[in-house]
Structure 1
């Protein structure tokens, strides 16, 4: 892409190579201005090269053919290896006639586009690493004024500025020029201006202008505009719509939904667009390409600004966003169904097993969370609200509670604004679940009460049952077990009336915890057993594992140690089978406590180390660290 630093790198490499004696014949440089309104042709370039080689005036052949012959003859006779730099090429016809015709010399071509039709060695440039981007701006400021201490005083603002520039060398040079012009104003002031702009490329073009040391103009938008104007209509449309996609990386299947094409056609168009340098195929940790695509932040800002400035393009973009939301809802609903699936139920489509559903959700999480926030626009609320609901199981399982808070809040607000009472109730309910898991228990209780009120007002008995159960869990967490028991009993009765066996089992299990808290131990044991048996009856082995753990805890406190150890073992087996590493960590921690209490510190330490590992696998570093610390204390 333009501004990535191709010319600077080529010239710096040439200088270093010549200093090392690699090219005793020196270097020849021609700027072919391929992206100007009037690019330099090969016929024009050969005249400049002949002039550099000393052929001019009466010695210059009169015809183009004669000029090329003279040029190649001179290079053929030149004993010192020469480096030919053909800069800023937009069309192979600009440089192919200029090739020396001998392998004695070397040619370096820079271009925004890949000449895939030619067997040339290609070196792709990426934006700078974050640290290198910071160094570039710092040096640009200190070279102008060694007393400029803003980079030292404002390291975080400087790093954010580099990020807002997308670590693109041209944008960084522009930002440095703006900081020099604004001196002594803080770096943070420029960061604020860029962050608050609808299109950051407009702010970056508000600098002092001029050129860099290579004679390139310090302006950004014209560079992007020339690349955009060169695109075929289909490629231009693809770039505009990609700029609207949620998240920073977009999977090929999502792109297909976005542009309304089949997967094969979308992939072909993406590959063509990638050849222009305006979109990049993402590489995985192993270096291999994956079916995901990345648009540079500044290209995204430019393309999104192009859409926003044209009513027809805005409508095209809004329709595309609606398509991708429908696609996301469809996939998320199937992933949700797979995560909730029990043996004997119809097999959900798309995801053959739980692992594949989790893998898709892991890969798409950032984009899905961003898509839910489109609910702020009424046009998308009817899709964003159910999308939030379908993400709940996953966000709770992976313990992404901050994301859950964001998603639930966006869904609640959109549902309220559009009069969707059920959606608003679900939003409040899920907000309460996220708040409880974040330790904000009183807020969670308030949220569940709001959800309960909406479900009851709407006559939604199934929703009311769920809300009572979640309210009960929050009350229990707040140390109000008697109120929790009453709420669990209401929830259980409603679930029994509705024939919801899984949810009834949940209520037996959670009710038992509150019964135990008020000293009704035998009733708690009976309730845990009822829950376990109901889970097993419907094939919910994970639920049974949770019930075994809770039953074990009740037996442990009651002094029935042998039974507790056996029950913890049963729970651990089922949790590991299901991949519930947080639950496994909890059970192992409980086992460690039993072993320590019965005078077996070696087994307690071993269980704690396993618990630390399980918690780490579950993404629970605080719990993992605590178990590791407890294990270390037993050495």
Structure 2
């Protein structure tokens, strides 16, 4: 990529190689200016090389062909190895004629383009590691003035500055120059200036200190512009649209939707852009076109977005592209959600044949999906965003991505308000309450579910009102407002029953049982969980049936019926393991361990605690895992 530091690395390598004595015949350097408006041709470069080799004036052959002959003859005659650096090449025609006719010498070429058709060794340069970025700027300031202690005083601001620079050496060099010039200002002021500008390239170029050690202007935007201008129209269009895509990475199928292309056409264009280092393919997947993911450098993304914003026609093109990819995300997420919610007897979802496939797709596109929901703050996209958010709740809850869930629910709520969709707003409030509860923000969750309930009541939607009462009851129970929880869950159960929705009625019974147990109404709790289990079973929802078995075990244990409790946990585990519900499995194993401990079966208890720790670790719940391991360690031998 432009600005990655290719020339600096090549020159440094040459100096070190010369110091090691690798090239006693000397080093030749030619800047081919491949990305300037007037690139150096091979015919022009050979004249410069002959001049460096001492062939000039009257000794210079009169024709181009004879000049190349003379150049190769001189290299062939030199027995001491030489290094030839051909810098900044944009096309093989600039350097292929300059390659020595002997393998005695070595050639180092720098370019923004991959010459995949040529049998040359390729070394791709990536941006710097964040720690190296910080060290580069800190060293640049210290080398100028050893009293400059800003990096030590402002480590967080320095890290943020390097992040805004995308860890790109050219951008970091410009930022260091700005800090040198503004030696009496703190680093945070430059960070604020870049953030306020909203375009890192514009902010850096505005404060650019001049030229580098090679005499080249320290400006960033022209570097990106030259790469962009050289692209064929179809590649340039795709790059612009990619800069508008949500999320840091995007899959090939989503790119195809964004650009209104077939997957194969999009893949071909993406591979061409990758050859120019304007996009980066992300390793992983199963090797199919649909599995490949793509990433843009942040500065390329910012540059492309500014290009789109600068022209009405391109802005309209970009808005249409955003609509297409948002619609694609909604359709795919809905299909994945259908698979996650599928139960025996329901129509088989077409898009995802297995639950794992649906989860894999959602995992890959999660960042883009969450970012796309944020578009709902614009009225043009609001309706689709509300629908997309509704398709993500089950997944985000399953994976325990509670922060993302809160973000999605809040964006959906604002989108529904924007369009006057009262029931969409109610749904968003309900989802927000669930996410807030899981994040430990209980009072906010209660308020959210109350808002959802009131909106459903006002609309006369008794079914959704029942769901809101159910979720409100769960949250009141977590807040230890047990009697209020029992009232809310009883309302939910009674509202669900006449609708014939036995699945949600079972859920209300299950939650009511837990609240009754907390109120020491243990016999009623056992009856409620048994009713929930028996209702879940014919629906085919084995996962929620597993939860009912687990909760029944807790109630049985509290009633002193220890062997029955252990049997109930065993039933729960058998069902949970089919779903890879690691967190739920961890909870049941923990409960099983407590029951074994109560029965003085310490060996079995220790094994269950350790298995629970493993399950919690897989569920990304390290605190629960640590607690389980500690409980195992406390057991007597």
Q: Same fold (TM over 0.5)?
A: yes
Query: Which residue is 1:171 aligned to?
Result: 171
Q: What is the Cα deviation at residue 168 of structure 1?
A: 0.5
Where 1:250 maps in the other structure, the secondary structure is strand
Return the alpha-carbon distance in structure 1 between the equivalents of residues 408 and 484 of structure 2: 29
Say whether the 8 Å CA contact 1:336–1:390 is kept in structure 2.
Answer: yes
Query: Which residue is 2:300 aligned to?
Result: 299
Distance 1:631 1:216, change over 3 A: farther
Q: Alpha-carbon deviations, 1:110-161, whole Å to 9, x = none? A: 1111112222211111111111111111111111111111111111211111
Where 1:205 maps in the other structure, the secondary structure is helix
Q: What is the Cα deviation at residue 307 of structure 1?
A: 0.6
Return the alpha-carbon distance in structure 2 between the equivalents of residues 55 and 142 of structure 1: 44
Say whether the 8 Å CA contact 1:82–1:106 is kept in structure 2.
Answer: yes
Q: Decide which moves more: 268-277 or 172-181.
A: 268-277
Q: What is the Cα deviation at residue 181 of structure 1?
A: 0.7
Query: Which residue is 1:151 aligned to?
Result: 151
Distance 1:543 1:456, change over 3 A: same
Return the alpha-carbon distance in structure 2 between the equivalents of residues 493 and 357 of structure 1: 34
Return the alpha-carbon distance in structure 2 between the equivalents of residues 518 and 152 of structure 1: 57
Q: What is the Cα deviation at residue 16 of structure 1?
A: 1.4
Query: Which residue is 1:565 aligned to?
Result: 566
Where 2:282 maps in the other structure, the secondary structure is strand
Query: Which residue is 1:97 aligned to?
Result: 97
Where 1:479 maps in the other structure, the secondary structure is coil
Say whether the 8 Å CA contact 1:555–1:563 is kept in structure 2.
Answer: yes
Return the alpha-carbon distance in structure 1 between the equivalents of residues 131 and 489 of structure 2: 54
Return the alpha-carbon distance in structure 2 between the equivalents of residues 634 and 29 of structure 1: 73
Q: What is the Cα deviation at residue 188 of structure 1?
A: 1.1
Q: Unpaired runs of 5+ in structure 1?
A: none
Say whether the 8 Å CA contact 2:181–2:209 is kept in structure 1.
Answer: no
Return the alpha-carbon distance in structure 1 between the equivalents of residues 208 and 321 of structure 2: 38
Q: What is the Cα deviation at residue 198 of structure 1?
A: 2.0
Query: Which residue is 1:258 aligned to?
Result: 258
Tell me, yes or no, if structure 1 residue 341 matches structure 2 residue 336.
Answer: no
Say whether the 8 Å CA contact 1:333–1:390 is kept in structure 2.
Answer: yes
TM-score (norm 2): 0.97
Q: What is the Cα deviation at residue 90 of structure 1?
A: 1.0
Where 2:55 maps in the other structure, the secondary structure is coil
Q: Alpha-carbon deviations, 1:169-199, whole Å to 9, x = none? A: 1001000000101112111111111123221
Return the alpha-carbon distance in structure 2 between the equivalents of residues 87 and 517 of structure 1: 74
Tell me, yes or no, if structure 1 residue 595 matches structure 2 residue 614.
Answer: no
Say whether the 8 Å CA contact 1:468–1:488 is kept in structure 2.
Answer: yes
Return the alpha-carbon distance in structure 2 between the equivalents of residues 331 and 52 of structure 1: 62
TM-score (norm 1): 0.98
Instruction: Tell me how large the CA RMSD over aligned residues is.
Output: 1.6
Q: Unpaired runs of 5+ in structure 2?
A: none
Distance 1:13 1:288, change over 3 A: farther
Distance 1:616 1:288, change over 3 A: farther
Where 1:136 maps in the other structure, the secondary structure is helix
Where 2:424 maps in the other structure, the secondary structure is helix
Query: Which aligned pairs between 1:108-507 and structure 2 lie closer than 5 A?
Result: 108-284=108-284, 291-507=292-508
Say whether the 8 Å CA contact 1:181–1:208 is kept in structure 2.
Answer: no
Q: What is the Cα deviation at residue 213 of structure 1?
A: 1.7
Q: What is the Cα deviation at residue 209 of structure 1?
A: 3.4
Q: Alpha-carbon deviations, 1:587-606, whole Å to 9, x = none? A: 11111112222222222222
Return the alpha-carbon distance in structure 2 between the equivalents of residues 498 and 107 of structure 1: 78
Distance 1:199 1:365, change over 3 A: same
Say whether the 8 Å CA contact 1:528–1:551 is kept in structure 2.
Answer: yes
Say whether the 8 Å CA contact 2:281–2:295 is kept in structure 1.
Answer: yes
Where 1:88 maps in the other structure, the secondary structure is strand
Tell me, yes or no, if structure 1 residue 55 matches structure 2 residue 55.
Answer: yes
Return the alpha-carbon distance in structure 2 between the equivalents of residues 632 and 525 of structure 1: 32
Query: Which residue is 1:43 aligned to?
Result: 43
Q: Decide which moves more: 59-68 or 442-451.
A: 59-68
Q: Alpha-carbon deviations, 1:18-47, whole Å to 9, x = none? A: 222221111110001111111111111111
Say whether the 8 Å CA contact 2:208–2:219 is kept in structure 1.
Answer: no
Q: Alpha-carbon deviations, 1:472-509, whole Å to 9, x = none? A: 11121122222222222222222222221211110111
Return the alpha-carbon distance in structure 2 between the equivalents of residues 577 and 232 of structure 1: 51
Q: What is the Cα deviation at residue 286 of structure 1?
A: 12
Say whether the 8 Å CA contact 1:588–1:608 is kept in structure 2.
Answer: yes
Return the alpha-carbon distance in structure 1 between the equivalents of residues 579 and 127 of structure 2: 42
Query: Which aligned pairs between 1:605-616 and structure 2 lie closer than 5 A?
Result: 605-616=606-617
Where 1:364 maps in the other structure, the secondary structure is helix
Runs of 4+ aligned structure 1 residues displaced above 4 Å come to: 285-290
Query: Which residue is 1:85 aligned to?
Result: 85
Return the alpha-carbon distance in structure 1 between the equivalents of residues 16 and 287 of structure 2: 29
Tell me, yes or no, if structure 1 residue 32 matches structure 2 residue 32.
Answer: yes
Q: What is the Cα deviation at residue 585 of structure 1?
A: 0.8
Return the alpha-carbon distance in structure 2 between the equivalents of residues 518 and 177 of structure 1: 67
Q: What is the Cα deviation at residue 424 of structure 1?
A: 0.4
